[in-house]
């Protein structure tokens, strides 16, 4: 406990109750059998009905807490405790959108936990020197428009607003059309933050990995965020009748793509570091009938590493492997890089504040293998992250789970960190 801070009492039960309410803003989602309890399937894709209903409810919660709410043209929502016109705010927040068939803690713990951190500081009688601002970022998940962190990318200038405006969803509707139809107006470029908007930013999040739980630790003090790369591939072979085309005459796009999936897996496993991970999550053959040889397969690649150079080396190895498969099988493959971002180091000012705030809890310094809006916030202000353990390291699944106790620890550390940063100059 830091002597210069007031005694802070976090209402973790209230956060859990609000997380459960938040989980009800969801498109119908199948709950698979056989998963450990508790499990709650959530699907809340940006600018769909459940997302819009959630936003209205969340805005109400912020206003109840006396915060001033502002929504930018991207739909990023800012809830401020303090002078609305002041620069140099201390920011916190995360995202409330959820990929289909996922769970109720990813992102949401940082949004509702951030709100509770502010309420706890208010209850403790804390008086911030700098404004404290809670941010709910738009579309951290890439589900609808194929690009993760579109909200924070535009806020921080990591991507031009015009590029994001032109992204299309699976129905061919542009981001710009969809957000306007959802009621978000104004010039997207105006979502770019003023350079002095934030003094610092800190995001509370579940670890989405198994390390804290395995080691029985309360808090992860994040020192760096991994470098993500996302790409999509299209493999073109030759179709035909499943019975009539002999094996030596085939150029089966599905077999070729299956071999590429294994080459992608091998590239991660042979990188020399456990920090390299690859995933093929989408895989769609055409025409997709049991008695037709596939003439075309589209699949995605998600590649991440804590080291940018090692990430790029794995990427080169993957492309070489795919070229060799194409040559051997007489198929062709094209790819498109959706995003390739460098890793981010967390800022000592924030890392130290988190470490101080975690006094009395068990901690370790760690790396975020998932990427977050903080990856982009780190481009414009000192940024850090606070991790709490989650059951089995599981995320993006209905059975992702963080205990009330873990959430309580995380919110307490966040509140103390915000207090520290909001009194520093």
Q: How many amino acids of this chain bind a second copy (CB under 8 A)?
A: 76
Distance CA 308, CA 342 (A): 6
Beta bridge partners of 278: 303
User: Which pair of structure tokens corresponds to residue 112?
Assistant: 């509702």
Would the annotation count 106 as a binding residue?
yes
Q: Which is nearer to a second copy, 232 or 312 (CB)?
A: 232
Distance CA 390, CA 135 (A): 23
Q: List binders of a second copy among 2-41 (CB under 8 A).
A: 32
Q: Which is nearer to a second copy, 12 or 277 (CB)?
A: 277
User: Which pair of structure tokens corresponds to residue 298?
Assistant: 């589209």
Q: Which is nearer to a second copy, 277 or 357 (CB)?
A: 277
Beta bridge partners of 220: 364, 387
Estimate to the nearest angstrom the gap between the alpha carbon of 97 and the chain centroid.
9
Q: By CB under 8 A, is residue 147 in contact with a second copy?
A: no
Span interacting with a second copy, options 77-85, 114-122, 310-318, 394-402, rule CB under 8 A? 394-402
Estimate to the nearest angstrom the gap between the alpha carbon of 124 and the chain centroid.
31
- Least spacing, CB of residue 55 vs a second copy, in Å: 22
Q: Where are the beta strands (DSSP E) in 148-218?
A: 198-206
CA distance to 73, 277, 363, 398, per residue, from 91 (Å): 19, 30, 23, 29
- Least spacing, CB of residue 156 vs a second copy, in Å: 20
Would the annotation count 335 as a binding residue?
no
Would the annotation count 396 as a binding residue?
yes
- Least spacing, CB of residue 143 vs a second copy, in Å: 6
Span interacting with a second copy, options 46-54, 227-235, 307-315, 342-350, rule CB under 8 A? 227-235
Residue 28, CB half-sphere, CA atoms under 13 Å: how many?
A: 0
The DSSP code for 56 is H
**100 to 119: interface string for a second copy, x by CB under 8 A:** xxx---x-------------
Q: By CB under 8 A, is residue 85 in contact with a second copy?
A: no
Span interacting with a second copy, options 85-93, 109-117, 122-130, 390-398, rule CB under 8 A? 390-398
Span interacting with a second copy, options 88-96, 108-116, 301-309, 407-415, rule CB under 8 A? 301-309
The DSSP bridge pattern shows strands 296-305 and 277-279 to be antiparallel
Q: By CB under 8 A, is residue 210 in contact with a second copy?
A: yes
Beta bridge partners of 367: 224
- Least spacing, CB of residue 386 vs a second copy, in Å: 16
Q: Which is nearer to a second copy, 188 or 264 (CB)?
A: 264
Q: Where are the beta strands (DSSP E) in 315-395?
A: 332-340, 344-345, 363-368, 383-388
Q: List binders of a second copy among 306-345 (CB under 8 A).
A: none
User: Which pair of structure tokens corresponds to residue 264?
Assistant: 């992608």
Q: Residue 350 in contact with residue 382, Cβ under 8 Å?
A: yes
Q: By CB under 8 A, is residue 300 in contact with a second copy?
A: yes
Q: List binders of a second copy among 255-284 (CB under 8 A).
A: 255, 257-259, 261-262, 265, 268-269, 274-284
Query: Packing angle between helix 108-123 and helix 404-423, nearest 10 degrees?
Result: 60
Distance CA 32, CA 24 (A): 17
Q: By CB under 8 A, is residue 174 in contact with a second copy?
A: no
Q: By CB under 8 A, is residue 172 in contact with a second copy?
A: no
Identified binder of a second copy from the candidate list 123, 173, 180, 286, rule CB under 8 A = 286
Known binding positions for Zn(2+): 95, 106, 141, 205, 396
């Amino acid at each position: 406990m830091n002597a210069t801070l007031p005694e802070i009492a976090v209402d973790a039960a209230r956060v859990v109750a609000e997380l459960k309410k938040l989980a009800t803003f969801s498109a119908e989602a199948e709950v698979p059998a056989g998963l450990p309890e508790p499990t709650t399937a959530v699907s809340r894709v940006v600018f769909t009905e459940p997302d819009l209903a959630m936003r209205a409810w969340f805005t109400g919660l912020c206003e109840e807490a006396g915060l001033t709410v502002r929504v930018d043209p991207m739909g990023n929502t800012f809830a401020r405790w303090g002078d609305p016109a002041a620069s140099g705010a201390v920011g916190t927040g995360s995202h409330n959108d959820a990929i289909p068939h996922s769970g109720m803690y990813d992102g949401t713990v940082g949004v509702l936990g951030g709100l509770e951190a502010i309420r706890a500081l208010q209850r403790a009688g804390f008086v911030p020197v700098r404004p404290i601002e809670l941010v709910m970022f738009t579309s951290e998940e890439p589900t609808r428009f194929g690009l993760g962190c579109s909200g924070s990318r535009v806020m921080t200038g990591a991507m031009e607003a015009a590029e994001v405006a032109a992204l299309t969803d699976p129905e061919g509707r542009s981001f710009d059309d969809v957000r306007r139809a959802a009621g978000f107006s104004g010039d997207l470029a105006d979502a770019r933050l003023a350079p002095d908007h934030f003094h610092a930013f800190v995001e509370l999040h579940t670890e989405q990995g198994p390390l804290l739980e395995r080691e029985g630790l309360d808090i992860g003090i994040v020192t760096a965020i991994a470098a993500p790369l996302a790409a999509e591939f299209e493999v073109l072979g030759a179709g035909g009748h499943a019975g009539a085309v002999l094996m030596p005459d085939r150029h089966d796009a599905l077999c070729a793509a299956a071999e590429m999936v294994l080459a992608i897996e091998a590239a991660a496993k042979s990188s020399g570091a456990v920090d390299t991970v690859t995933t093929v999550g989408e895989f769609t053959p055409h025409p997709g009938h049991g008695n037709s040889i596939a003439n075309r397969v589209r699949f995605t690649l998600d590649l991440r590493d804590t080291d940018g150079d090692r990430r790029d080396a794995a990427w080169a190895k993957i492309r070489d492997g795919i070229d060799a498969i194409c040559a051997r099988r007489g198929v062709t493959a094209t790819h498109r890089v959706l995003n390739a971002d460098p890793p981010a180091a967390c800022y000592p000012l924030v890392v130290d504040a988190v470490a101080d705030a975690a006094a009395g809890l068990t901690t370790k310094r760690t790396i975020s293998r998932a990427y977050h809006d903080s990856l982009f916030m780190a481009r414009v202000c000192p940024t850090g992250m606070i991790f709490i353990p989650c059951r089995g390291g599981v995320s993006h699944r209905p059975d992702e789970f963080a205990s009330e106790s873990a959430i309580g620890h995380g919110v307490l550390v966040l509140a103390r960190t915000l207090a520290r940063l909001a009194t520093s100059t």
